[in-house]
């Protein structure tokens, strides 16, 4: 999930992406794909392997790095073209690693919040989400957690779990609203690119 507030440092470069400075091959940041990637429409099956699992540990680190670099608050593996039922999310100053996440119970009361998504740069969509959830997940060490989440963390968890079920935030929109959101996004990206170009030209003067 993308940050819901934009700041001055919010720069989108969809063509080039961001290169990692980390030399270690295994710990390179992951490639972020846009909303056309087929994996974003697929339900990702449960991880049934054993813990600890070296490749999941590395994936957790790479997801955290990638989320941080793009200024996100949640990121699922399939947004990066990785077929694992896993996401990372910000929670109380820490980053949770959630493998095989589940919602065990949820409130009927809903909350509305403008959501962003790293797969839809510059798009913000209001989605109805449960106010609180009882969630369960496993971290990369294999520890199982039960947690009561509410407010923003509950929204992030529901948004990221949707990704693992092949559901995008735009799937909640009616066709006209979807088109309007897309048009706004295109305008936003153009504006950002112009601004970025201007800043660049001014910096080399």
Active site residues: 160
Q: What is the largest CA-CA distance in the chain?
A: 58
Q: Which stretch binds Zn ion (CB under 5 A): 55-63, 109-117, 122-130, 131-139?
A: 109-117
CB hemisphere CA count around 83 (13 angstroms):
6
Q: How many residues bind Zn ion, per CB under 5 A?
A: 2
Position 161 contacts Zn ion (CB under 5 A): no
Residue 173's DSSP bridge partners are: none
Among 117, 135, 152, 156, binds Zn ion (CB under 5 A): 117
Instruction: Report the site for Zn ion in 16-55 (rule: CB under 5 A).
Output: none
Min dist CB 74 to Zn ion, Å, is 7
Min dist CB 41 to Zn ion, Å, is 13
Structure tokens at 174: 């009616």
CB-based contacts of 91: which residues, under 8 Å, 6+ apart? 149, 153, 156
Q: Which stretch binds Zn ion (CB under 5 A): 57-65, 106-114, 116-124, 191-199?
A: 116-124
Q: Which stretch binds Zn ion (CB under 5 A): 89-97, 115-123, 143-151, 192-200?
A: 115-123
Inter-CA distances, 126 with 2, 84, 117, Å: 13, 27, 12
Min dist CB 121 to Zn ion, Å, is 11
Alpha carbon 111 to chain centroid, angstroms: 19
Task: Kindly tell me which of 53 and 91 has the beta carbon lying closer to Zn ion.
Answer: 91
Min dist CB 94 to Zn ion, Å, is 20
Inter-CA distances, 168 with 47, 62, 115, 178, Å: 21, 22, 11, 11
Task: Kindly tell me which of 57 and 113 has the beta carbon lying closer to Zn ion.
Answer: 113
- Least Cα distance to 157 among 76, 81, 64 occurs for 76
Binding site for Zn ion (CB under 5 A): 1, 117
């Amino acid at each position: 999930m993308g940050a819901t507030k934009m700041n001055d440092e919010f720069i989108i470069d969809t063509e080039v992406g961001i290169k990692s400075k980390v030399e270690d091959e295994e710990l390179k940041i992951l490639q972020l794909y846009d909303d056309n990637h087929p994996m974003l429409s697929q339900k990702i099956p449960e991880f049934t392997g054993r813990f600890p699992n070296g490749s999941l540990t590395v994936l957790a680190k790479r997801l955290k790095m990638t989320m941080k670099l793009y200024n996100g608050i949640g990121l699922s593996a399939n947004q990066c073209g990785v077929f694992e039922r896993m996401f990372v999310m910000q929670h109380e100053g820490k980053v949770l690693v959630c493998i095989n996440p589940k919602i065990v119970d949820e409130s009927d009361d809903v909350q509305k919040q403008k959501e962003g998504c790293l797969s839809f740069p510059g798009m913000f969509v209001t989605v109805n989400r449960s106010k609180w959830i009882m969630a369960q997940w496993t971290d990369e060490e294999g520890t199982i957690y039960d947690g009561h989440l509410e407010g923003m963390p509950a929204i992030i968890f529901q948004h990221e779990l949707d990704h693992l079920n092949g559901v995008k935030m735009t799937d909640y929109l009616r066709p006209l609203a979807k088109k309007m959101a897309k048009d706004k996004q295109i305008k936003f990206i153009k504006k950002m690119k112009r601004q970025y170009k201007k800043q660049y030209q001014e910096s080399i003067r």
